[in-house]
Amino acid sequence: MSSWPPLAWRSVAYLTSSAHSNKYGETMAAQNAPGYECTPPWATRPNRLAAWFLEHNSGPQALKWMHYFDAYHRHFEPVKNARARANAEAQASAEAKANGAPTERPTDSVQRPLRMLEVGVNAGGSIGMWRDYFGDDFEYHGIDINPECARFHKPHANEHLHIGSQLNRTFLREVVAAYGPFDIVLDDGGHHVDMQVVTFEEVWPAVVPGGVFMVEDSFSSYTRKFGGYRQSRGG
| H-helix or E-strand spanning residue 69 | helix 68-98
The residues, ordered by sequence, that sit 6+ positions from 133 with a Cβ below 8 Å of its Cβ are: 48, 49, 52, 76, 80
Query: Catalytic one among 67, 160, 162, 191?
Result: 191
The residues, ordered by sequence, that sit 6+ positions from 95 with a Cβ below 8 Å of its Cβ are: none
State yes or no: is 75 an active-site residue: no
The answer to whether 223 touches 87, Cβ cutoff 8 Å, is no
**Treating both helix axes as pointing N-terminal to C-terminal, what angle do 125-134 and 68-98 enclose, rounded to 10 degrees?**
50
Sign (positive or negative) of CA dihedral 120, 123, 126, 132? positive
**Treating both helix axes as pointing N-terminal to C-terminal, what angle do 48-55 and 68-98 enclose, rounded to 10 degrees?**
120
Q: Which residues are catalytic?
A: 191
